[in-house]
Amino acid sequence: MGERHPTLDREHEHTGHTRLLKFHAPEIVFGIDSMVEAAHAALRLGALRPMLVTDPGLIEAGWADEMVHHLAEQGVTAELWHDLTPNPKDHEIAAGYQRYAERGCDVLVAVGGGSVIDAAKGVAILAANGGDILDYEGVDKAQVPIPPLVVVPSTSGTGADVSQFCIVTDTTRNTKITILGRALVPDVTVIDPRLLTTMPEWLNAATGLDALTHGVEAYVSLGHNQLTDHHALRAVQMVTDNLVHTIETPAAMAPRVQMAQAALEAGLAFTNAILGAAHAMSHQVGGLLDLPHGVINGVLLPHVVRFNAEADPRPYAEIARYLGVAEPGQPAAESALALADRVDRLARAVGVPRGLAQLGVREQDVPRLAKNALQDACMSTNPRPADEAEIDALFRAAL
């Protein structure tokens, strides 16, 4: 397994004084058959007319019905809203808020993946602050606290259930906007690994690679600290060890529990440390082509690791040694490249295409993608500064 505690060495970077640490997290309930706890939490938070946000896939799998039943057992009738698509759109969130207001809803309960949870966060922002969801792009623009929010994630990767992020597709500009603020961290997240067993294989692969990217980017982020480092490393290890197993044996619970924990720990790491260039770039491609976010990350991450490691390979070398893909004495630059190769192999093993061109990105799209990526909030914590020409070249390398 290589070095167990590279994080201890990293604190020497901050010589002379300890940085102020903050670590934001919701109340977390974790375990098989824990979904019922979401109903108890909603009631405790004052739910009289909760709005249950979910999607057609979750309804088909039976999870939405189970949540409605748990709420009904508490004497509460849920208002069901599921008119949303993957990568939730600005107009869908406006429609969701309209339903929330018309029916006099109070607590929001989200059962689903990142798109469902982001949509619920979007509705919550509008419920408290009004206006248009696109007005809240950036950091801490939503000033009024949101209504109570309880989430039950159905995928193992996005981290939306613990994060202060809300990602929305701006359908006019065909790009994704990042809304960031501590107010967006859910009150309670209930992680029941049973829900992961009904994910389609492509979504399992995509969200798993998203969790991997969260772990790697949080670990090397300029905003990292010793609390986030620990979660980031464990997440990278658990995804690397378990993702392929969950695809080969979808019903086996042990690897599902590990992936659920990996997604949780990666989420706790990135919501506090923020991310980097892979996410800044991925958001643009996802906005342009409405593709699964984690698949795009799987294509981009090895390229971003190699690019950032040119400036400073050490944090990547630490991850490589932790995973056992590099020897303790190996030069840092070599170890960082070994990590990029390991990520690449994992992405291939779960069916991610080799390049962005296979996903539909064209050469003429690159200048716009590069320009928009530089504006993304995730770029501010990327360990290596980059200009438009460098991001353009990175996109071209990933084609």
Question: pLDDT digit string (tens) for 308-355?
Answer: 999 999 999 999 999 999 999 999 999 999 999 999 999 999 999 999
pLDDT < 50 regions, the chain: 1-8, 11-12, 14-16
Show the domains of the chain with their CATH numbers: 6-18+200-398 (1.20.1090.10), 31-196 (3.40.50.1970)
Neighbours of 191 (CB within 10 A): 26
Q: How far is CA 377 from CA 69, 282, 326, in A?
A: 39, 12, 32
pLDDT tens, position by position, 236-292: 999 999 999 999 999 999 999 999 999 999 999 999 999 999 999 999 999 999 999
Rg for the chain, CA atoms, rounded: 20
Alpha carbons 283 and 277: distance in angstroms, whole number: 10
- The residues near 359 (Cβ < 8 Å, ≥ 6 apart) are 285, 289, 291, 295, 296, 299, 353
**Which letter, b or e, does each residue of 297-328 get, where b requires 16 or more Cβ atoms within 10 Å of its Cβ?**
bbbbbbbbbbbbbeeebbbbbbbbbbbebbee
pLDDT of residue 22: 86
What are the tokens at 74? 């508490």
pLDDT tens, position by position, 164-175: 999 999 999 999
Alpha carbons 193 and 258: distance in angstroms, whole number: 9
Residue 132 contacts residue 65 (beta carbons within 8 Å): no
pLDDT of residue 20: 82
